[in-house]
A = this chain, B = another copy of it.
Amino acid sequence: MTLWRSSAETGPGDAMLDFTSSLEQDRRLYPYDIRGSIAWAEALERLGVYESAELQQVVETLNDIKAELDAGELELDPELEDIHMNIEAELSKRLPELGSRLHTGRSRNDQVLVDVKLYLQDCSVELENGLLSLLKALLEKAGGEAGTPLPGATHLQPAQPVSLSHYLLAFFEKFRRDYQRLQKNKDELSVLPLGSGALAGSGFKIDRQFLAEQLGFERLSRNSLDTVSERDFMLDYLHFLTLLGLHASRLAEDWIIWSTPAFDFCRLDDKFTTGSSIMPQKKNPDALELIRGRSSRLLAAYQGLASLLKAQPLAYNRDLQEDKLHLFRALDAVSWFSLLPEMISTTTFNREKMASATEMNFLAATDLADYLVERGLPFRRAHNVVRELVEKARRQDKKLSQLELSEYQSAASEFEQDVYDFIDPVACMKRRDVYGGTAPRRVQEALDEAGGWLQEVNNND
């Protein structure tokens, strides 16, 4: 075990190279670095730095390098500090004179930003697809369950009946907001940093608009000092990922609890559970636990980048090399997109267990109070009457539906025979008949709206 290379072994120069190299982290940027360099070379050609034929050589060689890197055939050298220097060095090895012209008017400060933005544009496509699969899985699962009651909880205590559809659509809404947050984040990803130079703007009259067009950016960053110093778009991205992870952690928490034998509201497909090295009976919801646990990585990454940026003088400081570390770690922490949609699709819900839990646990109490309110009692008094009825039932170990009418009437004379129908779980659900409520017809409308939206989004894609 060695936490760090001792200077005795290697000499401080090597230790320094080791310490400052970011190749480990930025290796994944190579395709974007090459794309950015090709556009840069083209812009240089327009300035006369390259002849047309020279440009072609440069572009071809860069493409060769990319192909070799794709194929794993090219070794990178950590001593060359980062991915940018590695690629430039390789180019210069192959085209000594032309390669050495490529960095004309460019700085690593603007170069790395264009790389990261291109990378995040690609990540966004993947995350968008992941979110759409997830939304689709939730919606499909929710379909047809608008009348399936579930004991909706607050404080983890049974509260009021809601339908399984309504529950699943609650997560649909959370992840839909994530989808929309992702769209909003695209704005800043489409602002081109390249051409800002080290801090003051390129010293060559490079055509930034041309660069933007070549690379698919929509507008140019407005101030070079701001551009090389800011990482707002990264913190925006980490915020988006944090909320995404938090939403998933909440679904995980619910389903972990629901998978216990005590609740038994749902069963995960075997392929998403894991056994124990020692307890043969175990089917553990490991994937859900990891989804929950990994949300902590996102909190960590946000704090990492935010505290990195705090109080940094303008413009660029080497501290910023760490930005990518936090960003990439966060991106790696949502790899559960490969599992979660299918996990949702293959989970079975135990309708009987949910229904009996709905009836057992006084979930109609609110409605019972509303019953009295409708018959003229002020809300606060009705509330008190029902609390006493519930206590009476609890002491007798009865459901509300098992209390005698006389018991109801001795609590409040307004009660009549129709109270029994009134407190049926589905009747209770039907009564939440406001926009956004759990009434089956409202939920059906919500399912339709969600389906339409998803369709539209998929079409636009």
Contacts and interface: CB of A to CB of B under 8 A. Distances in A.
Given A18-B338, A242-B235, A338-B5, A296 B310 contact: yes
A229 interface: yes
Interface string A1-18: 111111100001101101
A76 interface: no
B152 A199 contact: yes
Nearest to A293: B319
A37 interface: no
B299 A338 contact: no
Nearest to A123: B3
Contacts of A334: 3-4
Contacts of A287: 16, 19-20
Interface in A380-439: 380-381, 383-384, 386-387, 390, 428-429, 431-439
Number of this chain's copies in the assembly equals 4
Contacts of A127: 3
B225 A19 contact: no
A141 interface: no
A331 B299 contact: no
B299 A325 contact: no
A198 B366 contact: yes
A72 interface: no
B434 A339 contact: no
Interface residues of A, number: 198
B309 A307 contact: no
Interface in A302-332: 302-322, 325-326, 331-332
Nearest to A20: B286
A370 B197 CA distance: 13
Interface in A167-205: 167, 169-174, 177, 181, 184, 188, 195-205
- Chain A: interface secondary structure? helix
Given A12-B339, A250-B309, A166 B436 contact: no
A97 interface: yes
A66 interface: no
B4 A337 contact: yes
Contacts of A226: 169-171, 173-174
A388 B258 CA distance: 24
B432 A170 contact: no
A267 to B, nearest CB: 11
A144 interface: no
A260 interface: yes
Contacts of A222: 169, 173, 435-436, 446, 449
A236 B180 CA distance: 13
A350 interface: no
A432 B284 CA distance: 22
A363 to B, nearest CB: 8
A101 to B, nearest CB: 5
Contacts of A308: 293, 296
Given A229-B170, A250-B311, A262-B357, A380 B155 contact: no
A326 B300 CA distance: 9
A19 B290 CA distance: 8
Interface string A66-88: 00000000000000000011000
Contact of A303 (B253, B303, B320, B369): B303
Interface in A19-38: 19-20, 28, 31
B436 A384 contact: no
A108 to B, nearest CB: 5
* Residue in A1, A6, A104, A256 whose Cβ sees the most chain B Cβ within 10 Å: A1
24 contacts: A3-B337, A4-B338, A13-B271, A16-B272, A84-B277, A109-B154, A152-B199, A154-B282, A155-B317, A158-B260, A159-B282, A159-B315, A161-B200, A173-B226, A200-B429, A202-B432, A203-B428, A206-B434, A235-B243, A278-B383, A286-B318, A296-B322, A297-B325, A299-B307
Nearest 6 CB-CB pairs, A to B? A201-B437, A293-B319, A300-B304, A201-B432, A289-B318, A281-B362
